[in-house]
Structure 1
Amino acid sequence: MTPAVLFLHGAGAGGWEWNVWRAVFEAAGLATAAPDLQPAASGLARTTLDDYAGQAGTALRVLPRPRVLVGASLGGLLAAMCADEADALVLVNPLPPAPWHAELPSRDWPAIVPWRHEARLASTRHALPDADEATALYAFDRWRDESGLVLGTAHAGVALERPSCPLLCMASTVDDDVPPAVTAALAAAWGADLLRLPAASHVGPLLGRGAAAAAQQALAWCRDR
């Protein structure tokens, strides 16, 4: 049977982050979905990590099995939280669960992180050093504000069981947000396959010049499984 693939985006972004990956997977005949995570009815400031995880789980359960769940950054943590519903898991520079969360840089988060309201093209270029100019502009137009409660909870550490399904962790070697050593330690502890992406930034596997190649590598791993 041909698997279906659900992509979960990172904080402050949307399903558009996965455009390149969706094109690669769909060209191979796989059905894909990449929903935008939505704020809770009570507003963005009161949106919780569990709100997002609930949306992710609902989106995954409507897909036919076998299901591949792919998440990047915050989406990687959400994917790990929903691992019981998946048949294979791909985590790209994931925000790590406890105890590896303690290795992340310490941050204080406002109630609403103003990534949309304070977006600048220069800061977008800085965040995407391995992307071309057109992609940086595309991302700059699409960043969104994020819930500080979601990010605070994620960075405080979420206790998770080791997933029972096949698991691939992908680690960018030039990642200032989730150091590659943290992803490698998580992969080792969870018995996952580890793929290192040379010269890639935190979001580079999705939006950088090497995004299509990273997607092809993930697709090859899925086929092997």
Structure 2
Amino acid sequence: MADVLRGAVFVHGAGGGGWEWAIWARVFAAAGIEVAAPDLRPAAAGLVGTTLADYSAQVSTWVEAVPAPRVLVGASLGGLLAAMNSDQADALVLVNPIPPGGLPPAPARPQVVPWGRTACLAGTRRALPGADDAAALFAFRRWRDESGRVLDQARAGVGMAVPAVPVLLLVSEADRDVPAQASLALAQAWGATAWTVPGGHVDPLLGRDAPRLAQQTLAWLTSPGRGPGNADVSNTA
């Protein structure tokens, strides 16, 4: 980015919260960047009536509240939401994002996906193979229920233009939710930079390597010459 980065908005994934970004937020804040990592909220009608557009509108409001130049950072569903609001950002960082083209068809979700009530530590560990016991327990205690409609809409895909800002994708090799090849294909289609990293779906946020990845991402954002034409796909992260 040509200018000094001043703001960063972190968008969490489905069934999570802003707490997922605690490590990254500390790294960015220590660099003097104003950070925001709010929780996505259900619509007035509750999770049953919440749509992807409702969540996207919340993200738009968050972005406007931090100073520019600013980066939108999103993981999983949050990565899709960040991409949907790329016109308000000066750069995007997407961690294992649900691709705008959607994911393979699957049975419709229930109106409310009861992740908060049915979460298990074993399942959390599968999503975080690179995390220590404390991080897995931290996440396990915080999962929340999610809107089935939002998840179905995200899986079906969203039409959008290629972002006109620099884009970095972090791609977990052992991701069981968003296949690594889907993220790498998105990077190629968008002319984005992609780093292939070890671990599972949520490891870049909460795993042992999270502080290092946050620092490397910040270095990428603040290096000169980053632009939408950058098509480097690297395994060096």
Which category of TM-score, normalised to the shorter sequence, fits these structures? over 0.9
Q: Does the residue aligned with 1:42 lie in a helix, a strand or coil?
A: coil
Query: Percent identity between the aligned chains?
Result: 57
- The whole-number CA distance in structure 2 between the counterparts of 1:94 and 1:19 is 19
Q: Does the residue aligned with 2:201 lie in a helix, a strand or coil?
A: coil
Cα deviations across residues 74-106 of structure 1 (Å, max 9, x unaligned)? 0000000000000111111000012xx24x473
* Match of residue 205 from structure 2: 206
- The whole-number CA distance in structure 2 between the counterparts of 1:124 and 1:92 is 17
Cα deviations across residues 169-217 of structure 1 (Å, max 9, x unaligned)? 11011111111111111011111111111x2211000011111111112
5 Å-filtered alignment, 1:132-147, equals 132-147=132-147
* Match of residue 177 from structure 1: 177
Matched, 1:55 2:58: yes
- Number of aligned residue pairs: give it: 221
Q: Does the residue aligned with 1:64 lie in a helix, a strand or coil?
A: coil
1:56, 1:78 within 8 Å by CA — same for their partners in 2? yes
Q: Does the residue aligned with 2:59 lie in a helix, a strand or coil?
A: helix
Question: Residues 50 and 15 of structure 1: is their aligned pair in 2 closer, same or farther, counting only changes over 3 Å?
Answer: same
Of 90, 95, 98 in structure 2, the residue corresponding to residue 95 of structure 1 is 98
Matched, 1:72 2:71: no
One-letter code of the match for 1:183? S
1:105, 1:177 within 8 Å by CA — same for their partners in 2? no
- The whole-number CA distance in structure 1 between the counterparts of 2:188 and 2:164 is 14
Matched, 1:130 2:133: no
2:127, 2:203 within 8 Å by CA — same for their partners in 1? no
Cα deviations across residues 13-38 of structure 1 (Å, max 9, x unaligned)? 00000001011111122111101000
* Match of residue 215 from structure 2: 216
Question: Residues 149 and 91 of structure 1: is their aligned pair in 2 closer, same or farther, counting only changes over 3 Å?
Answer: same
Measured after TM superposition, the shift of residue 126 of structure 1 is 2.3
* Match of residue 234 from structure 2: none
TM-score calculated relative to the size of structure 2: 0.90
- The whole-number CA distance in structure 2 between the counterparts of 1:179 and 1:149 is 22
- The whole-number CA distance in structure 1 between the counterparts of 2:215 and 2:107 is 34
- The whole-number CA distance in structure 2 between the counterparts of 1:177 and 1:154 is 13
Task: Give 5+ residue unaligned stretches, structure 2.
Answer: 227-237
Q: Does the residue aligned with 1:196 lie in a helix, a strand or coil?
A: strand
Question: Residues 126 and 66 of structure 1: is their aligned pair in 2 closer, same or farther, counting only changes over 3 Å?
Answer: same
Q: Does the residue aligned with 2:222 lie in a helix, a strand or coil?
A: helix
Q: Does the residue aligned with 1:170 lie in a helix, a strand or coil?
A: strand
Moved over 3 A (4+): none
* Match of residue 117 from structure 1: 117
TM-score calculated relative to the size of structure 1: 0.95
Q: Once superposed, what is the RMSD of the aligned Cα atoms? A: 1.2
2:128, 2:199 within 8 Å by CA — same for their partners in 1? no
One-letter code of the match for 1:40? A
- The whole-number CA distance in structure 2 between the counterparts of 1:217 and 1:23 is 14
- The whole-number CA distance in structure 2 between the counterparts of 1:28 and 1:182 is 32
1:124, 1:140 within 8 Å by CA — same for their partners in 2? yes
5 Å-filtered alignment, 1:148-159, equals 148-159=148-159
Measured after TM superposition, the shift of residue 10 of structure 1 is 0.3
